Amino acid sequence: MDASKLFSHLVESLNEEIVISDVSVHDVRFPTSLEAHGSDAMHKDPDYSAAYAVITATGLELRGHGLTFTLGRGTDVVVSAIRALLPMVVGKSLLKIYTDFGSFWRALTNESQLRWIGPDKGAVHLAVAAVINALWDLWGKIEQKPVWKLLCDMTPEEILTLVDFRYLSDVLTKEDARQILSKLFPTRSERETQVHQTGYPAYTTSIGWLGYSDDRIKGLCQSAMAEGFTRFKVKVGKDVVDDIRRCTVIRSEIGWEQPLMMDANQRWDVDEAIHNMTQLAQFKPLWIEEPTSPDDILGHARISDELRKFRIGVATGECCHNKVMFKQFLAAKAMDFCQIDSCRLGGVNEIISVLLMAAKLGVPVCPHAGGVGLCEFVQHLAIFDFVCVSGTMDGRVIEYVDHLHEHFLAPVVIRRGCYMPPEAHGYSCEMKPESLVQYGYPDGAIWKELGRTN
């Protein structure tokens, strides 16, 4: 079928003469390391940052805003990678991109020379995410819908055009995807109504950063429970004796009925992870996240197998480079909880393929969030998954971190420990102009005031 015939409503809003005329790129950094926000066993002093892209198109007053998340140093590398992609973006017709988005995504990720410094991984793939996220933000604004609703209003055949199925056919074929999407298509409106009423369940990581004192952890647990949170995550991995002490503090505050997750942020070797989690099993964690190298599929599988007797799952994915690695993790039963990341993968299009594989193999998707803009992004993806792909929230939850939302024009809304569906048009990732200026690196006022550079 001609893809352009599938998007008849889009043809009414665009014509082929509307092309991308410019993409501005910004290095934006927040000095979160000053208060140990985001600190974990491997990243002791992150300055939450973003390589931020703004797309301008001829004849449109609307702008597409997108970003990819970084931790400070290295953001300039990703900014350079975004600029390296621009010859494949500027001058392209928006209508042609959106009506055959899967093909555009493949072209962008497979430029014959740039792919050598990937392919589909590292700084160049983070750069792809920024560009793709900006394109989705612009598409939502053009159609006057939040991105989750834009996706949920598409037919199964339209969604299929968004995905590049190359390298996936041994686990997920296009026909598999068609069947998954078609099965839930008639009842989408029921789940949309449900998510509007209840929101999407969240857990908070803000209580348990590794650099926080016991008193601060206690206070944050109390505040989170008062706000309606019933699910919590703690950072572990630096020292198991200290982990036991901190988990004791948290359990004393939240009780034993509330789910507690643990995150080692890649700290341990495989045998070390099994040994340490055997000691931490007394705290009844729902999962251990990133217990070892994020590339070690066989290691994760072994850890998962060894911890099953404790009813502890393995969660991973925030540093999983691409859809092919997710395919292997899922097929090898190396992840019990699939943690997509809106900026590690190459944007919405690649993430849809992972959601479809997880649905086929029955693995719950619990998106990684936090950082800069990740919460704003993943709420759209989780709602789309619920409405169109998995059809369930059972065993699923979105991470929430209460940092930096004040810098966005349409920040997330949390009620009673749940994400409420965003209503603003686009992908919820447009930063306030003053934040871009003040936190621009290295010339922003905040960095000049601090008198330091990374």
| Cα separations in angstroms, 450 against 30, 260, 439 | 11, 37, 11
Asked if 374 and 50 touch (Cβ cutoff 8 Å), the reply is no
Q: How far apart are CA 1 and CA 193, in angstroms?
A: 31
Torsion of CA 396, 167, 300, 298, to 10 degrees: 160
Q: Which two tokens stand for residue 371?
A: 């950082």
Q: How far apart are CA 12 and CA 408, in angstroms?
A: 30
Q: What residues are labeled active site?
A: 235, 368
Longest Cα–Cα distance of the chain, Å, equals 63
Asked if 374 and 69 touch (Cβ cutoff 8 Å), the reply is yes
| Cα separations in angstroms, 232 against 78, 217, 222, 414, 417 | 32, 12, 12, 15, 10
403: closest CA among 138, 63, 50, 53?
Answer: 50
DSSP 3-state of 136 = helix
24: closest CA among 59, 60, 52, 58?
Answer: 52
Asked if 216 and 207 touch (Cβ cutoff 8 Å), the reply is no
Asked if 71 and 120 touch (Cβ cutoff 8 Å), the reply is no
Check residue 385 and report its DSSP letter. Answer: I
Asked if 314 and 300 touch (Cβ cutoff 8 Å), the reply is yes
